[in-house]
Each structure stands twice: as structure tokens, then as C-alpha cells.
Structure 1
């Protein structure tokens, strides 16, 4: 695989679940994707990895509150990446899983400040995602003899 401005070939490799979740801990911003009014919706949100869960902080929006559904959980997709704008090298991680509203006041007091909204201000909603499917890809520079 080559990038048009780079004569060097690149490597594309799949990342393990553990490595993918570890990489999510290196960035604090990503995107949630969900269905709202029968259409795809995507929102930029903050996140932290908390044990084997992903905690998402976001501002209150009726569309986001509605994804939790009548039973309190809904399937959503979360995506985050870190890509160098000059070289286009980096990684991408996608997490699919059930989201539920985090209501534990002890956990909220501990993690709330880490989930402040990317626009500034406190996160109104904290969602807890139990990852069911985790996929990750890494694009790197090919080094002769590294195969």
C-alpha cells in the first residue's frame, strides 16, 4: 500500500483486542455512531478506558439520550484514531457494544472530570460501553526485511 505523496510502501496490520483498547487510552476524543430518527448520526465525544469498559462523556442531546432505549441499553459504535497529518501513518480502532447510562455516583465523581466535553464544560451524560467487538488497524512505514 502506498500513499500518493510517499514513494515508500506502507504496512497495514490488524491489531489485537488488547492492543486496540490500550491505544484508546492514548487519546481522549472519538466518535459515537448510532441511529437517530432512522438515519445514521455521529457525535464527537470524550472517552476513557475504565477496566474492560469504555466510558463516554457527552453533552445532553435528546438523540443521545434516546439511544439508550426503553430497556436502558442500546447498541452503538465508537471510533477513535490517531493519524499523523503529514505522513498519514497511525491507527484506527472501532468498538461495537451495548451502551448504558452510567449512574454510579462514586464512579461518576472519580471519572467525571476526565470526561469533560470536548467543547469545554462538564459532560452531562456518561455512557458505559461494554465492548463486544473491537477491531483495530495500524498503518506504518514498511522497513525492508521486517516481514
Structure 2
């Protein structure tokens, strides 16, 4: 019978202070918009235990890490930082691989699990693919940029937006591609809604207050699975 952590363990000699595990757990939970109590319910713990993992130098059992990582949609290596310096995509392909198309419902679900994607635009110097922090706002994919950037200048043109996930351990993964016209968000009420919905500031820093949105006319996806 599986034990369910509910209260912080008491261990002699244990030190306090957030570790890489705590930082990564808190950052991923916040990016998904989950409270500690909500994450606890998803992984069979409670909010106090999640708070303990985030704020103390804890060493949870592998079973606990697996449940927390699964609830956050990441791997244990992602959660602990073991995969931080690993180059993705170098695993040997398996013979039982099948490429399966994803329907639009699954593609939109996967879009809501990430916070960083890549947008492909045409610039004066040729095509460019740029990373952006984004959020899903109803049918739209929205992100902030600076007014003088290539993405801001691409307003009114057709662009592509892509996210993916690679699992080197199983040599599997998925990708989602959204295509549509890029528009500037100018309505004050919509800007306010996006500002209050955004969970973090753009990682690139600087004055990036110019909201853009892509309303997809086509969303496709593929997943590598094994028979």
C-alpha cells in the first residue's frame, strides 16, 4: 500500500533553505497556475508538504518525486535539474516508432501546458524563429514583446508558432504547430485581461509591454509513440 505524504518529515540535522528542487517545483507549479493545495491533491499530498518541498532542503522518496513530477507534467530529471545540461534529441531511435497525428483538442491542451514557445516570422533579413513567453487566452496565443522587435513588425502577416517536448529516455516526444495572422492587441480591456492573466514577466527582460496575439486558423500536432 502506497504511503501518502501529508506532513513535513522531521529529520535530525536537516537544514532549511530552498534548493534547486524547491526552486524548480515552485516555478513549474506557478507557471501552471496551481496553488500548493491544488498540486497536493493532484499528487496525493497536501499543501503543507508541497510548501515544505519548495522551501526546505528535503530529500523526498522517489515515489513522491514521480507523483509530483507527473502532476506537473515533467520528468523527475526535469524537476531535480538532472537534465538541465543534457542536450536533447541524441537518443538512438527505436524500431517500433510510429508518428501519430494529434487532433485539435489535444493540440490545444498541450499548448496550455507550456509557457515558452517559438514564433516564426519573416523579417527584412529573412525568416527568423524567436522564443517567446506566451499564454493561451481563449482561442488566441498571446505574448509580450517590445514595439521595435521583429515580432512586432510582423503584425498583419501570417506566422507560425511551435512548442514541443522531447523525452530522451524513451526516445519519444510531441510537437504542436499553430498558423495564423499576427495582430497587435490594442483594446485596453483586453490588455488589462492579459496583464492580469500572465503568470510571469518575459524572460528576456526590458520594457516588453507590447501585447501581440496569434489567432490560429490551423493547429496541427504529431506525437512519436512506440508500439
TM normalised by structure 2 equals 0.53
1:37-83 Cα shifts (integer Å, max 9, x gaps):
15111110011111111112234443222211xxxx22111111122
Deviates more, 1:30-39 or 1:86-95: 86-95
SS of residue paired to 1:26: coil
Relative contact order, CA 8 A, sep 6+: which one is greater? 1
Measure the CA separation in 2 of the matches of 1:50 and 1:36: 26
1:84 aligns with 2:84: no
Measure the CA separation in 1 of the matches of 2:199 and 2:211: 11
Q: Following superposition of structure 1 onto structure 2, how do residues 72-111 of structure 1 map, counting pairs within 5 Å?
A: 73-111=156-194
Give the match for residue 65 of structure 1. 152
Give the match for residue 223 of structure 2. 138
Structure with more of its chain in helix, by fraction: 2
SS of residue paired to 2:199: helix
Give the match for residue 36 of structure 1. 123
Indicate conservation of the 8 Å contact 1:93/1:134, yes or no: yes
Q: Shift in Å at residue 12 of structure 1?
A: 1.3
Measure the CA separation in 2 of the matches of 1:127 and 1:89: 32
Indicate conservation of the 8 Å contact 1:53/1:130, yes or no: yes
Alignment partner of 1:45 out of 132, 142, 153: 132
Report the CA distance shift for 1:7/1:30 in structure 2 as closer, same or farther (over 3 A): closer
Deviates more, 1:80-89 or 1:113-122: 113-122
Measure the CA separation in 2 of the matches of 1:92 and 1:138: 7
| Count of equivalent residues | 136
Segments of structure 1 that go 5 or more residues without pairing to the other structure are 143-147
Indicate conservation of the 8 Å contact 1:48/1:115, yes or no: no
Alignment partner of 1:118 out of 157, 182, 203: 203
Measure the CA separation in 2 of the matches of 1:100 and 1:115: 21
Segments of structure 2 that go 5 or more residues without pairing to the other structure are 1-89
